[in-house]
Amino acid sequence: MRPRRLLTPWLLLAPALAVALVFHIVPFFRTVQLSFTDFRLSSGGQYIGLENFGALASSEVFWLSAGNTLLYVVVVVPLLVALPLLLALLVQPKIPAMPFFRASFYTPVIASMVVVGLIWVFLLKEQGPVNWLLQTLRIVQEPLPFLTDGTLLLFSCMLVTVWKGLGFYMVIYLTALANVPGELHEAAQVDGAGSIRRFWSVTIPSVRPTMLLVGVLSAIAAMKVYAEIYVIAGPTAGPGGTVRSMVFTIREVGSGFDGQIGYAAAMSLVLFVFTIGLTVVLQKLNRENREA
C-alpha cells in the first residue's frame, strides 16, 4: 500500500475529528478538571478538591434548580410519550388533506424556542386570550397569573415545552407505526376487537421500543431545559428568582465578567450524572416492564 493510501482515511476524518476533539471531548475532561478548582474568569484559580461539591450540597439555589429540573422531567416526559402517539395515530390514515395537517402539526418544531416562548408570553398574559377562554368557559372566575406566580410560571414553561415538542415525537411515532404489520390489526378485527382494544393490545406493544426512545429523548431534553425558562420567566428567573433550571443556574454563575467557572463546572458534572442516570433508570424500567 502506498503511503498516500494510509493517509486518506485520516484526511477525510480530519475536520470531524478536530471539531469533536476541540469542542466536545477535551472540554468534557476540562470540565471535570475545572470542577476541582476555584477557577474564575477574571482571576484564574487553583485546586481545591471537593469544595465545590460541598458548596453545591449546601446551596439553596442549587437544590431549587435541581428540584425544578427533576419536576420538569416528571411532568413533561409522560405527556411527551403519550400525546404524540395519539397525534401520530390521528394523522396516520392516508385521507385527503393529511399532508397539510402533518406539516401544520410540525410547525411549532421548526420555530425557535425564543419565538415560541415570546408568542406564549403574549397568549398567557393576565388579559390575554388564554385567560379569556378559561373565563368564558367558566373554568376560572379570575384570570390566572400564568406569568407572575412562581409555581404557575414553571408550569407555563412546561406547557410551552410540551406544545413545541408534540410534532417532533409525532414524526418518530409515525415511522414506528408505518412498520407495524397491517395483518395484526386485521386479525384482531376479525377476532372482534374494537378500536380501543386494538390500541391497547396491538398498537402499544408494537411501538413499545419507540415509546422508550421517546421517553429517553424527551427526558434528556427536559434535563437540559433553558431557553423557555429564560424567555418566559425572564433573565432574573421570575419573581424571587425561583423559576430556574440547572442549565439556567450554570449559565448564571459561570458566565459574565467574573464567572465562577469552577463552581459552574461542578454543577455541570452533577447535571451530566443526572442525565446518564436517568437514561439508565428508564432503560431498566422498560426491561422489567417487559419481563412482567
Partner 1 sequence: MSVIESTDPALAEASVGAAPRPARRPRRRPMRPAGVAKRVLHYVVLAAVLVLLMGPFVYTLGTSLKGDADSVFSYPPYFIPRDPTLENFAKVAEIIPVWTFIGNSLIVATVSTITNILFGSMAGWALARLRFRGNASAYLLFLATLVIPFEVIFISVFLTSKQLGLVDTLAGVILPSAVTGFSILLFRTAFGSLAKAVDEAAVIDGASEFQRYWRVSMPQVKGTMAVVGIFSFMFAWDDFLWPQIVLTSQQNYTLTVGLEFLAGAFADDQKVVAAGTMIAVIPLIVAFFIAQKWFFRGAGEGAVKG
Closest to partner 1 by CB, 57 vs 103, is 103
Specify the residue, 44 or 289, whose C-beta has the smaller distance to partner 1: 44
Nearer to partner 1, 81 or 113 (CB): 113
Residue 157's contacts (CB-CB under 8 Å, 6 or more residues apart) are 72, 225, 228, 229, 232, 233, 243
Could you write out the DSSP letters of every residue in 6-41? HHHHHHHHHHHHHHHIIIIIHHHHHHHHHTTB--BT
Least Å distance, CB 270 to partner 1, is 9
- Cβ-contact 34, 44 below 8 angstroms: no
Kindly tell me which of 186 and 288 has the beta carbon lying closer to partner 1.
186
What phi, psi does 123 have (nearest 5°)?
-65, -30
Which stretch of DSSP H or E encloses residue 157? helix 150-178
Q: Find out whether 161 and 222 touch, Cβ atoms under 8 Å.
A: yes
> For partner 1, which is the closer residue by CB, 192 or 292?
192
Minimum distance from residue 292 beta carbon to partner 1 (Å): 29
Contact 52, 36 (CB under 8 A): yes
Q: Which is nearer to partner 1, 86 or 285 (CB)?
A: 86
Give me the least distance between CB of 258 and partner 1, in Å please.
14
In this structure, what are the phi and psi dihedrals at residue 35, rounded to the nearest 5 degrees?
-65, -15
Whole-number Cα distances in Å, 38 to 3, 56, 58, 266: 48, 13, 17, 10
Residue 65 beta carbon to partner 1: minimum distance, rounded to whole angstroms: 13
At residue 127, the 3 state secondary structure works out as: coil
Identity at 88, one-letter amino acid code = A
Whole-angstrom distance, CA of residue 115 vs CA of residue 96: 31
What's the length of the chain? 292
Closest distance between partner 1 and the C-beta of residue 192, in Å? 16
CB of 57 to partner 1, least distance (A): 19
Residue closer to partner 1, measured from CB, 118 or 281: 118
